[in-house]
Amino acid sequence: MALTGTYVPSKAEWVRKQVEQYEGSGGEKANTLPGTKYPIVVVTSVGAKSGNLRKNPVMRVERDGAYLAVASKGGAPDNPEWYYNFVAHPEVEVQDGAEPHLYKARILDGDERADWWEHAVATWPTYASYQEKTDREIPLFLLERA
């Protein structure tokens, strides 16, 4: 069952454009982080306060059919807005290619977090520099097929 609600596009123009191009092409276009060769997926979540659907391109960190959503916000001192959506409404959709699928998000800690963090940094080394920029431990959400 798909998420329902009113889709409200991001305030950030680059996010709106990337999501529109990605979804409109079934993942054939706009499927990398702008200016890089690193792949992304589009994650749809339900707004923590508004209940509206929100869509964000996130780095494609996948293993054995599960995805990792890294709440790095480029090493900013605060979490991205979607972090609060995931906490309030853990059912999300992940689109990796043509079709979105329903997943459940859960925050990682301990050894499981350490293992996935290592995988995230191996997938996209910039995550390590993001962690160096901030005093907060960057939250990791494991997205598992519902």
Q: How many CB atoms lie within 10 A of CB 137?
A: 10
Domain range list for the chain: 13-145
**pLDDT per position as a tens digit, 14-39:** 999 999 999 999 999 999 999 999 99
Interatomic CA distance for residues 78 and 80, integer angstroms: 7
42: closest CA among 121, 4, 54?
Answer: 54
CA 11, distance to chain mean position in Å, is 17
Mean pLDDT of the chain: 96
pLDDT band at 1 (very low <50, low <70, confident <90, very high): confident
At 2, the pLDDT band (50, 70, 90 cuts) reads: confident
Q: Of 60, 13, 28, which is closest to residue 41 (Cα–Cα)? A: 60
Residue range 43-64, pLDDT digits in tens: 999 999 999 999 999 999 999 9
Q: Topology of domain 13-145, per CATH?
A: Pnp Oxidase; Chain A (2.30.110)
